Structure 1
Amino acid sequence: MSDTATLAEAPPERPTKDVLLRADDIVAGYLPGVNILNGCSIEVAKGELVGIIGPNGAGKSTLLKALFGLVKIHSGTVTLEGEDITGMKANTLVARGVGFVPQNNNVFPSLSVEENMRMGVYLKPKVFEERWKFIGDLFPVLHDRRNQRAGAMSGGERQMVAMARALMMNPSVLLLDEPSAGLSPVRQDETFLRTRMINKAGVSVIMVEQNARRCLQICDRGYVLDQGRDAYTGTGKELQSDPKVISLYLGTLAEDVKTKADHDAHPDPLAT
């Protein structure tokens, strides 16, 4: 599952319509009077894959946790299909169709793969067989390893388990917090391909990513956060080619773009 050629193909651009999850002017933080988010606004449409990038400390992970009820929102609103869900607890949001995969400690290491999946439907245990079949169709390897202890799996495999468990409650939107962190380049590509597969299966996705270039390659739209605000937004293609975004936030992507431009201007005469 390391089809990097497929990964490099940008998905079709979708207009912002049929908004599923929306955050308006969110101010939030972990301590009273200390805000990490300072008026951040984002939205994801039905069937859309949205990426969030930005420098360390910009508030990317805090934003996801605020959307999922894990960080207190001091002001602003979050709506799901037009309904105000601001401040709702995580278990209530799961029941309403919001899934979340944290960056760390995202599996039950002493439990088997199947037991992890059962934990994913603890609110609706009767739907296990139906959802387990869906997971098997999406990630066949998990069926093959259903009895393996999650803690004995590789980092990429554990990430797959975490994503699958979040899908067990059939969410309409999935929040992913740096799913490629700590993985090898090959495993990162596999994770991004799985993210696209999940999206193509009908799940809207908001993905925070430290690997900005890969993120913008697969997302429909992206946001660049800076100092707790949404500084830039656009399609993945637009953000990849925006000079301000490149120079300020994308780091090595700037060199990639320059190298490609130099190659296009001065092609290798020996290339076939």
Structure 2
Amino acid sequence: MTDAAATDERPPVREGTPVVLVDEVHAGYLPGVNILNGATLTAWDGELIGIIGPNGAGKSTLLKAIFGQVKVRQGDISLNGEKITGLRANKLVAKGVGFVPQNNNVFPSLTIAENLQMGLFQRPKLYTERLDFVTGIFTELGKRLNQRAGSLSGGERQMVAMSRALMMDPAVILLDEPSAGLSPARQDDAFLRVSEINKAGVTTIMVEQNARRCLQICDRGYVLDQGKDAYTGTGRELLNDPKVIGLYLGTLGA
């Protein structure tokens, strides 16, 4: 793995146990075919981690491996020091892992309130407390709780999906392409919401095709290529690294 070029802004030296540790993970969907080929990732408490890279690099697969949706054939994944490799989604949610997929991420026939209740089905008594938290971030949702999710725009659905994942008070939230399919204005709003979630104290790992905007807001970034880390560094380091600009950002790095 090659680090980004050194700058004056280096990641702080951390001690203790990371919230998420992905250690040399090999994983894939089909027998004998790996999409991840030794991927590694470390997310410390309160960090916002961005994952970028070309199409087919394994970015979404990495999130799905953490969330138990793809077979891990080699390597380990830990949450706060506890091995979680291969656990089912319901157990991961109970342990503090929230996941927001890119597509089909709301129940369209249910109201916003009912979607949020589905996010808390394992701990329904916490509904009022957690509703106050998520509507503090997504204030507009609190005014429209009885509206059906199927009538919402793409950006609004994304807010509902994020809110539902936050209802269980996760230790980490995994976001798969939160700006995908949104207008430029809605994309800016999506990145603002991601930052607000992170500033509220939730460790955040985000996969994004909009590499420039992702690196602008993340604490640290990982560039995946062919299923493993090609470059790592702070968001600013990667934005200014000539190799990352030339290979992955192009004119977006300017």
Residue 114 and residue 13 in structure 1: after superposition, are their counterparts in 2 closer, same or farther (change >3 A)?
Answer: farther
**What is the match of residue 143 of structure 1?**
142
Paired amino acid for 1:75? Q
Unaligned 5+ runs, structure 1? 1-11, 258-272
Compare CA radii of gyration and give the structure with the larger one. Answer: 1
Alignment check: 8 A CA contact 1:13 1:220 kept? no
Measured in 2, the distance between the counterparts of 1:86 and 1:242 equals: 33
Give 1:196-207 correspondences, 5 Å limit. Answer: 196-207=195-206
**What is the match of residue 15 of structure 1?**
12
Measured in 2, the distance between the counterparts of 1:153 and 1:70 equals: 27
**What is the match of residue 267 of structure 1?**
none
Following TM superposition, by how much is the alpha carbon of 1:14 offset from its aligned partner in structure 2, in angstroms?
A: 5.2
Q: Kindly provide the CA deviation profile for residues 208-245 of structure 1, in whole angstroms up to 9, marking residues without a partner as x.
A: 00000000000000000000001100000000000110
Alignment check: 8 A CA contact 1:116 1:161 kept? yes
Give identity over the alignment, percent.
67
1:87 equivalent to 2:79? Answer no
| RMSD of aligned residue pairs (Cα, Å) | 1.1
Measured in 2, the distance between the counterparts of 1:159 and 1:117 equals: 13
Following TM superposition, by how much is the alpha carbon of 1:251 offset from its aligned partner in structure 2, in angstroms?
A: 2.6
Following TM superposition, by how much is the alpha carbon of 1:148 offset from its aligned partner in structure 2, in angstroms?
A: 0.5
Moved over 6 A (4+): none
Aligned length: 244
Measured in 1, the distance between the counterparts of 2:230 and 2:10 equals: 21
TM-score (norm 1): 0.88
**What is the match of residue 215 of structure 2?**
216
Which secondary structure state, in structure 2, belongs to the residue aligned with residue 191 of structure 1? helix
Paired amino acid for 2:119? G
TM-score (norm 2): 0.94
Alignment check: 8 A CA contact 2:44 2:203 kept? yes
Which secondary structure state, in structure 2, belongs to the residue aligned with residue 56 of structure 1? coil
Paired amino acid for 1:15? P
Unaligned 5+ runs, structure 2? 1-8
Give 1:33-52 correspondences, 5 Å limit. Answer: 33-52=32-51
Following TM superposition, by how much is the alpha carbon of 1:135 offset from its aligned partner in structure 2, in angstroms?
A: 1.3
Measured in 1, the distance between the counterparts of 2:128 and 2:225 equals: 43
Paired amino acid for 2:52? I
Paired amino acid for 2:12? P
Alignment check: 8 A CA contact 1:213 1:253 kept? yes
Measured in 1, the distance between the counterparts of 2:229 and 2:13 equals: 16
Paired amino acid for 2:108? P
Residue 201 and residue 211 in structure 1: after superposition, are their counterparts in 2 closer, same or farther (change >3 A)?
Answer: same
**What is the match of residue 156 of structure 1?**
155
Measured in 2, the distance between the counterparts of 1:148 and 1:251 equals: 42
Which secondary structure state, in structure 2, belongs to the residue aligned with residue 249 of structure 1? helix
Give 1:94-105 correspondences, 5 Å limit. Answer: 94-105=93-104
Measured in 2, the distance between the counterparts of 1:195 and 1:13 equals: 23
